[in-house]
Amino acid sequence: MQTVTYDELETALGGAGVALGAAEAHGALSGTIAASLIFRPDEWIDQILSDTAAPERALHAREVLNALCRETAAQMSGPDMDFSPLLPGDEEPLEARAAALAAWCTGFMAGLGSVPVASTGWPDTVREVVADFAEIAKAAIGEEDSEEDSESSYAELVEYLRASAQLVHEELVDPRGDGVDEAG
């Protein structure tokens, strides 16, 4: 279960002056973990906070990002299949949630692309997921869809992202290892 909330991450990033939103940041983290044989949280956090004008304002963000790294890596590698994209809650307007979903996909693809690929490249299943995520990143709420249909479609996409991110991780990283270097 994710203890770092979307709103907490959004506030921490904004407070540190980071332009990246919570959904895109979590997508980038998830993509990086999905493809990393050894994930170093400190390096990833330093990259996210690299544009922070005032490092003293980034202390809280660093703490939140550290917790998010631990939780996301454990969820993605764990046997319980409890990984989930970090997105706004259902109380937010559907348009805002759909925009965050698109940003999450964009972040995931960026994170995945930041990890060096073996000479053999990605398996076909990973390429298919990336192509799907690229399409989802362009998605918008259709005006012709009813609210109920739109909510149902959104829920299906969130489930697809959840399952697909774990599939990519299983395809690219040995799921028996923890994949996290605590020493950073």
**DSSP annotation string for 28-80:** HHHHHHHH-SSB-HHHHHHHHTTT-S-GGGGHHHHHHHHHHHHHHHHHHHSTT
Radius of gyration in angstroms for the set of CA atoms belonging to the chain, rounded to a whole number: 16
CATH 2.60.120.10 correct for 6-172? no
User: What residues form DSSP beta bridges with 39?
Assistant: 180
Domain-by-domain residue ranges, the chain? 6-172
Region 115-120: what's the mean pLDDT? 72
Token digits of residue 14: 């904004």
**pLDDT confidence of 183, banded at 50, 70, 90?**
very low
pLDDT in tens, 122-163: 889 999 999 999 999 987 666 666 778 888 899 999 999 999
**pLDDT confidence of 54, banded at 50, 70, 90?**
low
